[in-house]
Structure 1
């Protein structure tokens, strides 16, 4: 089993050049034909940060702590961190059910590695997340004069989320070929999951009888640790990171196995 997994990992790495090529094309195609082009990658998160901050801190008078000591600037940072972390997951998973269908011309090409398509989607989402991460660091430095070295732990904290997203993407990309309703179901689940994660509110505000539900949501710990490291300069909960990493590895391996087992029937369905 382990030797088979290692063999598949080596195979995926052997496709590195093709993955990079497709990821670059995916990023450029996103803004193809627009006047600002890739600059939208910077403009979009800034606009969303402004809108969400205005709605929740000005209109709803939301505060992150019960004492109301959180400034609007800090509230914006807290909100923005949760959003860009969750957006990695939502972008990959929401695209997944249609990945193979949208690239059906590659299905009958025996030599084309279809399993790289979810990786390409993940790479594109990660590119956007990195831009948002850099925008957050620069904004914190300019507006509050703070930069914590713990922010550099970003790759370690987000790694479990990448593995979970990739595993689900492999599973949903395959399932979407056989059951076209999967895309519609995912479009409903994603917004529900966003509001079931501590994106717009602290986990401490959740009634105790419902907190066990949030403890089952792996995104909860990743969002909390990202805020802890970037905004407050604290170390993540390493125990949670390790557990999340194991969960991510399990989901990604199972998702990949499912994809490899079911891809033989893609040509017949499409």
Structure 2
């Protein structure tokens, strides 16, 4: 058993290196751009809202408020979208006996999560240096929010990968139904400020709960009446179960 785990660990390590070269290229600029891209997105949002004179929905820093929402959303979206294509992108590798489809998924997921954790650390550190943010009030809750976001993203990405492997049109369908999530995930606003009828609809979106979880962790006095940790974790584990069960069920058909 120990030998098997060591072997699979080496396989996943090799796949992470391959994913790094494939995703970011051989130069360091590719990885640097992956780090800068989310930061640029937050900077653009902050500049737009500052120009129109919009005050921060919470706290004194627009950049911090947007970062807690945007980076959380981007981590989920990157996992759910990139993992969807992992089976097809690595199909030749899965002909090798040592390489399993789950190894490919885990390798890509670990690379994405590690990259976004680095992005968060660098961006929040920059805000702290510029006196636009303080240290997280509840670091344990921030960490839990990142873990929960990763689980939901991996669950959705794995489920997407299984569906896409047998139904190629799913990529276009997924892009259509996931596009409104950007506006429904509390990146620009506080859900509690909306009427109850609107909140009851928005609360079905698990990504919104993740953003609220992150903000409760970062801000010392942010209390969300919308956040339901059991709900978002339940959705994540159901998606993980569907995804990995589906991968095993359709494994022969996919490889063939």
User: In which range does the TM-score fall when normalised by the shorter chain?
Assistant: 0.7 to 0.9
Q: Which of the numbers 45, 69, 75 marks the counterpart of 1:88?
A: 75
Q: Which of the numbers 39, 43, 47 marks the counterpart of 1:46?
A: 39
Q: Is the 8 A contact 1:99 1:117 kept in 2?
A: yes
Q: Work out the CA distance in 2 between the residues paired with 1:162 and 1:12.
A: 22
* Corresponding residue for residue 108 of structure 2: 121
Q: Post-superposition shift, 1:188? A: 1.9
Q: Which of the numbers 219, 224, 235 marks the counterpart of 1:231?
A: 219
Q: Is the 8 A contact 2:79 2:157 kept in 1?
A: yes
Q: Is the 8 A contact 2:59 2:65 kept in 1?
A: no
* Corresponding residue for residue 196 of structure 2: 208
Which structure 2 residue ranges, 5 or more long, are not aligned?
none
Q: 1:118 to 1:233 in 2, by over 3 A?
A: farther
* Corresponding residue for residue 98 of structure 1: 85
* Corresponding residue for residue 154 of structure 1: 142
Which structure 1 residue ranges, 5 or more long, are not aligned?
1-6
Q: Which of the numbers 12, 16, 23 marks the counterpart of 2:9?
A: 16
Alignment of 1:1-270 (within 5 A): 15-34=8-27, 36-59=29-52, 61-65=53-57, 70-71=59-60, 74-144=61-131, 146-232=134-220, 240-268=228-256
Q: Post-superposition shift, 1:233? A: 6.2
Q: Is the 8 A contact 1:64 1:75 kept in 2?
A: yes
Q: Is the 8 A contact 2:162 2:243 kept in 1?
A: no
Q: Work out the CA distance in 1 between the residues paired with 2:65 and 2:11.
A: 36
CA-to-partner distance for each residue in 1:66-124, whole Å, 9 max, x for gaps?
Answer: xxx854xx111110121111111111211233221222213433442112222222212
Q: 1:205 to 1:236 in 2, by over 3 A?
A: closer
* Count of matched residue positions in the alignment of Structure 1 and Structure 2: 252
CA-to-partner distance for each residue in 1:51-71, whole Å, 9 max, x for gaps?
Answer: 111123324x33343xxx854
* Local SS of the residue matching 2:250: helix
Q: Work out the CA distance in 2 between the residues paired with 1:20 and 1:82.
A: 31
Q: Work out the CA distance in 1 between the residues paired with 2:209 and 2:7.
A: 33
- Aligned-residue CA RMSD (Å): 2.8
Q: Post-superposition shift, 1:14? A: 6.6
Q: Post-superposition shift, 1:189? A: 2.4
Q: Is the 8 A contact 1:94 1:190 kept in 2?
A: no
Q: Post-superposition shift, 1:252? A: 1.0
Q: Post-superposition shift, 1:212? A: 0.9
- Calculate the TM-score normalised by the size of structure 1: 0.81
Q: Work out the CA distance in 2 between the residues paired with 1:63 and 1:149.
A: 22
